Structure 1
Amino acid sequence: MGIGSWLGLWFGLSIPVILAMYLLKRKFLDTKVPSHLLWQRVLKNQEANRPWQKLQNRLLLWLQLLAAALLVFALMQPFLWTSGGGKEHVVLVADTSGSMSAVTNAASGQASKERLEQMKQEMKDYIKREAKNSEITLLSMNVEPNVIISREKDHSRAAEAIDSLQAYFGKASYDETLSLASALTREETDAEVVVFTDGQWKGNPSSIPFQAPVRVMKVDSEKGFNLTLQQFGVKDELGGATAVAVVKNNSEAAKSTELNIYGDGKLLKTASTEIKPGASATLTFQALPGAEVYKAELEGNDDYAADNEAYAFSQSTNTPRILLITPGNLFLEKGLQLTGAEVVKMTLPEVGENKSPDQSGETAVPEKKPDLVVIDGAAPSFMSQGEWKKLLDRTPVWTLGGGGSEIAVNGAQPKLVSHPVNRYVSYSGVYIGSVLEQKLPDWAVPIVNIDNHPAIIAGTENGEPRLSFLFNLQETDFPLSSEFPIVVHEAVSWLTESGGKSLGRFTAGSRIEIPVAADTVSARWVAKDGMAKAMKVQNLEAETGEKGISALQQVPTIPGLYAFEQVNSEGKRMEYLTESAADPYEAQWDKVNTNLDAIGKNAGDGETTVASASETASVKSNPGGDQSKIPLTLLLAGLVLLIILVEWGVYQRGRSI
Structure 2
Amino acid sequence: MQWMGLGNLWFALIIPAIIVLYLLKRKVEDRVIPSTLLWQRTMQNWEAVKPWERLRRNLLLLLQLLAACLLVLALIRPAVLTEGITSDHTIIVVDTSGSMMAKEGNETRLERAVSQAKALVEKLGSGQTMTLIEAGREPNVLVSKSADKELLLQAIEKLAPFSGTSDQIAALSLAGAIAENEPGSGVVWMGDGSGERKLDGGSVPAFSGSFQFMQMGSTRENAAIGVFVTQPTEKGIEGLLRVDNHGSMPAKGKVTVFDEQDKLLDTDSFAIGAGSSQTFSFQKLAVSSVYRAVIEPEQDGLSQDNVMWSVPFAAGKGKAVLYSPEGNRFLHQVLQTVGSLEVETAQQAPDAAAPARDLWVFDGVVPDKLPKGNILLIAPNKKSEWLPLAGEKELDQQPRPVTPDDPLLKHVDWRDVHVAKGYVLDEMPGMKSLVRAGDVDLVRAGIMDGRRMVIIGFDLHASDFPLRPAFPIFMQNVVNWLSPGQTAPIPLAHPGEVLTIPLSPGATTRTLTYPNGHQQSLTEDATSKTMQLPELTGLYRLDEGMDTGTKSTYFTVQMNEEESNITPKSVSVVQKNVEGQKEREEATATDTTGALGTKELTYWLAAFALLVLLVEWRVYQRGY
Interval containing the TM-score (normalised by the shorter chain): 0.5 to 0.7
Shift of 1:199: 3.8
2:189 is aligned with what amino acid?
V
* Distance in 2 between residues matched to 1:263 and 1:121, nearest whole Å: 41
Q: Which amino acid aligns with 1:503?
A: I
Among 560, 572, 577, the alignment partner of 2:554 is 577
Corresponding residue SS for 1:139: strand
Query: Residues of 2 paired with 1:506 and 1:613: CA distance?
Result: 35
Match of 1:612 among 564, 588, 591: 591
Partner Cα separation in structure 1 for residue 528 and residue 499 of structure 2 = 11
State the percentage of identical aligned residues.
21
**Contact in 1 for aligned 2:130/2:144 (Cα 8 Å):** yes
Summarize the alignment of residues 288-299 of structure 1 with structure 2, pairs less than 5 Å apart. Answer: 288-299=285-296
Structure 1 pair 428–549 and aligned structure 2 pair: CA distance change class (3 A): closer
Change (3 A) 1:226 1:539: farther
Partner of 1:26: none
- The answer (yes or no) to whether the contact 1:186–1:210 under 8 Å persists in 2 is yes
Residue 571 of structure 1 deviates from its aligned partner by 13
**In 2, are the aligned partners of 1:501 and 1:576 still within 8 Å (CA)?**
no
1:562, 1:147 → 2: CA distance? Answer: 31
Distance 2:587 2:554 in 1: 46
Q: Does residue 136 of structure 2 align to residue 142 of structure 1?
A: yes
Give the Cα separation in 1 of the matches to 2:104 and 2:307: 20
Q: Is the 8 A contact 2:260 2:291 kept in 1?
A: yes
**Superposed counterparts of 1:167-178, under 5 Å:** 167-178=161-172
| Whole-angstrom CA distance in 1 between matches of 2:148 and 2:341 | 65
Partners of 1:88 and 1:541 in 2: CA distance = 51
The 3-state SS of whatever aligns with 2:491 is strand
Q: Cα distance, 1:99 vs. partner?
A: 0.7
The aligned residue for residue 309 of structure 2 is 311
Determine whether 1:154 maps to 2:154.
Answer: no
**Counterpart code for 1:340:** G
Q: Give the counterpart of 1:237 among 216, 233, 237.
A: 233
Native 8 Å contact 1:313 1:504 kept in 2: no
Supply the distance in 1 between the matched residues of 2:602 and 2:595 (Cα, whole angstroms): 13
Distance change >3 Å, CA 571–CA 162, structure 1 → 2: farther
CA contact (8 A) 1:87 1:131 kept: no
Paired residues of 1:104 and 1:114 also in contact (CA < 8 A): yes
> What amino acid is aligned across from residue 599 of structure 1 in structure 2?
V
Alpha-carbon separation, structure 2, partners of 1:508 and 1:415: 40
SS where residue 118 of structure 1 aligns?
helix
Report the Cα distance in structure 2 between the residues aligned to 1:319 and 1:233, rounded to whole angstroms.
18
In the alignment, the residues of structure 1 paired with residue 170 and residue 335 of structure 2 have an alpha-carbon distance, to the nearest angstrom, of 49
SS of aligned partner of 1:120: helix
Partner of 1:214: 211
In 2, are the aligned partners of 1:502 and 1:576 still within 8 Å (CA)?
no
After TM superposition, list the pairs within 5 Å mapping 1:559-578 onto structure 2.
559-564=537-542, 576-578=553-555
5+ residue gaps, structure 1: 1-82, 106-111, 323-329, 344-373, 377-399, 402-410, 431-444, 446-481, 626-657
Tell me the distance in 2 between the aligned counterparts of 1:428 and 1:97: 54
**1:595-639: CA deviation from partner (whole Å, max 9, x where unpaired):** 42x2354577996632423235232526799xxxxxxxxxxxxxx
State the alpha-carbon separation in 2 of the partners of residues 124 and 624 from structure 1. 30
Q: Is the 8 A contact 2:86 2:598 kept in 1?
A: no
- 1:599 match: 573
User: Which residue in the other structure is 1:269 paired with?
Assistant: 266
Residue 104 (1) aligns with residue 83 (2):
no
Aligned partners of 2:509 and 2:523 also within 8 Å: no
1:610, 1:617 within 8 Å by CA — same for their partners in 2? no
Which residue number corresponds to residue 424 of structure 2? none
C-alpha distance in 2 between matches for 1:193 and 1:223: 25
- Selected match of 2:224 from 224, 228, 237: 228
Q: Do the aligned partners of 1:507 and 1:583 also contact (CA within 8 Å) in 2?
A: yes
Deviations along 1:145-202, whole A, 9 cap, x unmatched? Answer: 2222222332212111111111121232111111111111212211111101124354
**541, 552, 560: which one pairs with 2:530?**
552
Aligned match of 2:564: 587
**RMSD over aligned Cα atoms:** 4.8
**Structure with larger Rg:** 1
Within 2, Cα distance between the matches of 1:146 and 1:166?
A: 13
Deviation at 1:85, TM superposition (A): 7.0
Q: How does 1:17-166 map to 2 (within 5 A)?
A: 86-105=86-105, 112-130=106-124, 133-166=127-160
Residue 417 of structure 1: how far off its partner (Å): 2.5
Gaps of 5+ in 2: 1-82, 320-328, 367-371, 373-465, 467-474, 605-624
Cα distance 1:338–1:256, how it changes in 2: closer, same or farther (>3 A)? same
Paired residue secondary structure (2:357): helix
CA distance in 2, matches of 1:541, 1:89: 47
Q: Deviation at 1:501?
A: 8.2
Q: Which residue of 2 aligns with 1:416?
A: 352
CA contact (8 A) 2:109 2:191 kept: no
- CA 1:429 to 1:520, structure 2 compared with 1: closer, same or farther past 3 Å? closer
What amino acid is the match of 2:502? P
Structure 1 residue aligned with 2:494: 507
TM-score normalized by the length of structure 1: 0.51
Distance in 2 separating the partners of 1:212 and 1:520: 60
Matched, 1:203 2:182: no
Secondary structure at 1:175 match in 2? helix
Give the structure-2-normalised TM-score: 0.54
Q: 1:242 to 1:566 in 2, by over 3 A?
A: closer
Q: In the TM superposition, what whole-angstrom CA distance separates every residue of 1:330-364 from its partner, at most 9, and x where no partner exists?
A: 99997985573388xxxxxxxxxxxxxxxxxxxxx
